[in-house]
Amino acid sequence: MDRTELPRAARTLRFEELYRAWLRGEMTQGWAAGVLGVSERTFRRYASRYEAGGPEGLRDGRVAGGSHRRAPAAEVAALEALYGQEYEGWSVRHFHERYVEDHGGRRSYTWVKNRLQGAGLVKRGRRRGRHRLRRPRKPLEGLMVHQDGSTHEWVPGRVWDLIVTSDDATGRVYSGFCVAEEGTWSSFRGVRETVEAKGLFASLYTDRGSHYWHTPKAGEKVDRSRPTQFGRAMGELGIEMIPSYSPQARGRCERLFRTLQGRLPNELAREGIADMGEANEYLGAYWPRFNAAFGVEAAGEGTAFVPLSDVRLDDILCLREARTVGNDNCVSYRGKRLRIAPQPHRIHYVRAKVRVHEYEDGSMSVFHDRLRLGRYDRQGCPLATSNGAGGTA
């Protein structure tokens, strides 16, 4: 017997008893309806159907036939085969995006989730814990930018650091790339790509990694009086740095990386990517799609980004160290001797205080105040463009 038959049969018998009692004048229609748990109008409708067709007149026609909205069995089978053969292990939401964009699917996310869970292809999620209030987003983009790294096996057998720079107001990613290990240069790159694309922003929220901050004692406050190379560069750009003191405070970044860890490895595997260079090339086209799916509109109108104008990023986003020129008119820097060529405006720079700038590619420059005295390759050999008119910082 169908699982709906027994309760329906019992309800029919109950109605017949009440119907006969009403005919005998033992109760009113309102009383009988109350016993059945329906309105008096519904009881009269049941009575009319019973008088016209007997017990079969009470049968619910919706139970006997299938819904006209039910998906064909072939469509359900095709959906399950598509997921099992090409997208196994993907989250339902991630799969649903590809199902719609790449395979012309028209079913809703909930329908797809229920079909996959019903087939045992996707596990049902755990019930969420109690609701916690999240920190409100900044009202304008550019007021606060987050930067963080996530160490993960982004492709099989390869553990890289993914460095992401994103906006607090919109959640959009401005820069994201993989490196072997997070550090000063990767942080410089994230800031450079953001500034070149959007302009200078107001503040940068980071963890307390040693390339961001000096922390005299583990677990205690950072020492703002001793900026790192990165901190010095942010100060010159007028960007306020904000340290995080707990993982909970970086909740927005943590949730972003959970999403990426669930999606990006599947995307890279589907494209057959196993090389870091190829992965970074792919990410350049991936972020616009990711932002379209997960970005939100800022609460306020306008932007806090400021145009870059004529700021020389190369000589700000670099490593700097102070040196004193030796008696041979050379500067010692990390085992190299950087010789200062004769300058038209000064005979020599012996005992002068200078600055060495080291760039990401390993090349270097020597500056006296704002005047560049020479440029050098990574071995310390003068470059052809190094002369007295080498430019300013």
| Chain position carrying tokens 């409100």 | 136
The 10 Å Cβ neighbour count of residue 388 is 14
Q: In whole angstroms, give the CA distance from residue 170 to residue 63.
A: 48
Q: In whole angstroms, give the CA distance from residue 159 to residue 181.
A: 9
Beta pairing class for 203-206 and 145-155: parallel
Q: In whole angstroms, give the CA distance from residue 37 to residue 31.
A: 10
Side chain identity at residue 376, one-letter code: Y
Helix or strand holding residue 25 (H, E): none
Side chain identity at residue 235, one-letter code: G
Write the CB contacts of 232 (distance below 8 Å, at least 6 apart in sequence): 320
Dig out the tokens for 20 from the structure.
Answer: 């006969």
pLDDT tens string, the chain, 393 residues long: the values are 344 444 566 677 788 888 888 888 888 888 888 888 888 898 888 888 888 878 777 776 555 555 666 788 889 999 999 999 999 989 999 999 999 999 999 899 999 999 999 888 988 877 666 555 567 899 999 999 999 999 999 999 999 999 999 999 999 999 999 999 999 999 999 999 999 999 999 999 999 999 999 998 877 899 999 999 999 999 999 999 999 887 655 788 889 999 999 999 999 999 999 999 999 999 999 999 999 999 999 999 999 999 988 888 999 999 999 999 999 999 999 999 999 998 888 888 999 999 999 999 999 999 999 999 999 999 999 997 644 445 666
Taking Cα atoms as reference points, which of 237, 226, 96, 209 lies closest to residue 147? 209
Beta pairing class for 336-339 and 330-333: antiparallel
Q: In whole angstroms, give the CA distance from residue 198 to residue 204.
A: 14
| Chain position carrying tokens 């500034």 | 195
> Are 339 and 327 contacting, i.e. CB atoms less than 8 angstroms apart?
no
Q: In whole angstroms, give the CA distance from residue 216 to residue 223.
A: 7
Q: What share of the chain is helix, strand, coil (3-state, %, to 5)?
A: 40, 20, 40
| Chain position carrying tokens 């700038």 | 357
> Are 149 and 161 contacting, i.e. CB atoms less than 8 angstroms apart?
yes
Q: In whole angstroms, give the CA distance from residue 262 to residue 269.
A: 12
> Are 308 and 317 contacting, i.e. CB atoms less than 8 angstroms apart?
no
